[in-house]
Amino acid sequence: MAGLSIAGLGVAAGGWILALAASSSAPAAPQIFTKSQVKAGQQVFLAHCAVCHGYQLQGKIGPALKGPAFADVWLTGKQNADSLFYVISTQMPFNAPGSLKTSQYLEALSYILSQNGLVPGKTAMTVALLKKTTLPKAP
Ligand code: HEC
């Protein structure tokens, strides 16, 4: 998309209109976790996930959990949040699947989503909320 609008700018004024229309029509992303979940999730992530996914979520033994590689799979606007939670809570940590508490998995997911540009709000993440949430397209 960035490439498209930059090309448009170089070629004609029409590119401006295209770029503006694209950015203003993005729907507001749902707020599905709180600030304190993000804070707790950072600790969970550092203790249980970072060794494989990298301290900056950049990927190591495990895949990157932020940036385009992650967004291309999960932040397409079509993935159910519950599917991502399912992967994390049943398959991670890869060397000890299901070993954390549900609250810790929710916190880790909150942290990962915050690192991908989603913003915290007043609503705390719960398993029930995830079941009815579609993950937004990457912001
Ligand atoms: C021992 C190493 C290891 C640890 C610890 C670990 N992971 Fe993973 N993780 C992996 C590997 C390897 C994969 C790829 C698995 C596959 O493709 O089957 C993966 C895949 C994932 C995926 C799917 C990524 C995608 O793009 O589909 C997510 C999400 C994830 N891990 C989150 C976590 C979280 C959250 C934690 C901490 C609670 C964690 N992982 C801990 C190794 C690890």
Write out pLDDT tens, residues 17-29: 344 444 445 566 7
Please choose, from the candidates 100, 107, 112, the residue with its C-alpha nearest in 3D space to the C-alpha of residue 124.
107
Using CA atoms, how far apart are residues 123 and 31, in angstroms rounded to an integer?
A: 7
pLDDT in tens, 90-99: 999 999 999 9
CATH 1.10.760.10 fits 31-131, yes or no: yes
pLDDT in tens, 30-48: 899 999 999 999 999 999 9
Neighbours of 5 (CB within 10 A): 17
Query: pTM for this structure?
Result: 0.85
Residues with CB under 6 A from ligand 1: 48-49, 51-53, 61-63, 65, 70, 73, 87-88, 92-95, 100, 108
Instruction: Work out which ligand 1 atom sits closest to the CA atom of 45.
Output: 37
CA of 1 to the centre of ligand 1 (A): 28
Residue ranges, comma separated, of all CATH 1.10.760.10 domains in the chain are 31-131
Instruction: Work out which ligand 1 atom sits closest to the CA atom of 105.
Output: 38
Helices 14-24/2-11 angle, 10° precision = 150
